[in-house]
Amino acid sequence: MTSEEVAAFERCISVGGVALFPADTVYGLATGPDSREGVYRLYRLKRRDPGRPSAVMFFRLELALAALPELGERTHAAVERLLPGGLTLLLPNPARRFPLAGGPEPERLGLRVPRLQGELAPLADVSWPVLQSSANPSGGAEARRVEGVDERIRAGADLVLDGGELPGTPSTVVDLTSYEVDGGYEIVREGAVTADAVRELL
């Protein structure tokens, strides 16, 4: 991944384009979280129900925390322990930030901050948050290589970034919406990070 590719990714997102990009888990699709046209195109490419929520990804943890100032102290600390990494955290979102990502539950937000190492490290320079989803037809298998992404999705993206072979296991989804109140959480989907690892961190 080069600085020129990262700059092209930022330009694509800034104008509501749809980019195919590598994360720390699988290949994903990204667009501007406030771009209705970009979100519509991303969902159409995936053939995904437009009523379903998606996650917002930040490429640095400090940017994510700054964008969600309403997080309670306990939840804020949990986010710092869990991220960056192969997790999607479902967080309370009382300010209804990034409403296009929330689907039918605008007061809950999925947050991703990938762990960017090696070939992917330059992506940490991306300052824009993105609305993101895995680069596969809805319900289909996730891709660990660009060549494994559905040809129709590759052709429909405005930008394709090749980060080589990825681990191939999607993120673990952890619901922290009640964590501030009672310390409770739920593993909604176990993936790249084991439930035991999440328990140890929390």
What are the tens digits of pLDDT across the range 99-132? 999 988 999 999 999 999 999 999 999 999 999 9
Q: H helices of 24-162, where?
A: 36-46, 61-67, 73-82, 99-102, 151-156
How far, CA to CA in Å, does 88 sit from each of 42, 91, 158? 19, 9, 25
Q: Return the CATH number at 104.
A: 3.90.870.10
Domain count for the chain:
1
Give me the DSSP letters along 77-88: HHHHHH-SSSEE
Which domain does 41 fall in, by range? 3-201
Question: Prior bond to 84 cis, omega within 30?
Answer: yes
Sign of dihedral through CA atoms 39, 10, 175, 116? positive
**pLDDT, tens digit only, all 202 positions of the chain:** 899 999 999 999 999 999 999 999 999 999 999 999 999 999 999 999 988 999 999 999 999 999 999 999 999 999 999 999 999 999 999 999 999 999 889 999 999 999 999 999 999 999 999 999 999 999 899 999 999 999 999 999 999 999 999 999 999 999 999 999 999 999 999 999 999 999 999 9
